[in-house]
Structure 1
């Protein structure tokens, strides 16, 4: 039986560990924008269809570096920027907590493509938007052709890419996005 104190302590330690390498507290707007530019350029270069997808989207949230770690209890954290017409309009953090059979750490990037005006408006209006059932997940293997797929019916498309590390899977389910001022 895990006590509440152990659970809270472990979750705190996992979240602190997951923050390593993200430069929490040292990333200003310029640093986030530079990382977003690199991530966008990598995404478009590696998966050319995503350029078309971004062109159709009402906005794209780029999360250049999400660090995830877990040992039974896990956490993830990252920071990024929402761009509309390729101009940064807001900055966001992404945080995730998990419990279950897990051990390891990894880093990855992801992008959320808001394909409808209402999906983008709902995201921007919310106090904290949680990723989940509204997302259609795409894989990097689909990245070359994703922009050519029919996406008008999917309000938000998520693409996770650039995984590095040793942990099983990288999902966005349960990830909470919160507007920040860097």
Structure 2
């Protein structure tokens, strides 16, 4: 586990040194674009978003790896149609892997308690502080009825690149000062 934390910290440092942090306005614009794309792909996702207590949107999460991998992205927490706070997501992995990808992620908090627990956390780790049910679209863009019962539902879309990884597990989400 210490190796995993070290990898996440190293990735965070590398990304923050190599790429300038996005401004609030840039993140807001990218969040709007990502949600538009998600809603275009699935009317069920749009309907679900209307019922969500809050949504954490990461419009661009970059992942790369060669044996040791890592991912990083920045986004916003949207409550009541407005972005109210900004967050980063980072994860690391060790194992047989090679490649790079870009993806978008949306985590919908369907229950008040789930959203409150997230907002009150000092760094929230998927799978430890809360489980995220990965939404899979069925025939006609419908969502699995079991997924719809979960307090936290996640979408991963817009995958581009040579690495294909559809998971939230191990992602550490940290509040940004913007």
Normalising by structure 1, what TM-score?
0.84
Matched residue, 2:100: 105
Distance 1:24 1:127, change over 3 A: farther
Matched residue, 1:163: 159
Is 2:134 the counterpart of 1:137? yes
- The 8 Å contact of residues 78 and 85 in structure 2, kept in 1 or not, is answered as yes
Is 2:176 the counterpart of 1:180? yes
- The 8 Å contact of residues 17 and 69 in structure 1, kept in 2 or not, is answered as no
Superposition map of 1:25-64 within 5 A: 25-64=20-59
Runs of 4 or more above 6 Å deviation: none
2:149 corresponds, among 141, 150, 153, to: 153
Moved more, 148-157 or 36-45: 148-157
Moved more, 35-44 or 128-137: 128-137
- Gap runs ≥5 in structure 1: 1-6
Distance 1:83 1:16 in 2: 23
- The 8 Å contact of residues 58 and 84 in structure 1, kept in 2 or not, is answered as yes
Please give the root-mean-square deviation of Cα atoms over the aligned residues, in Å.
2.8
Normalising by structure 2, what TM-score?
0.85
Distance 1:97 1:142 in 2: 33
Partner SS for 1:52:
helix
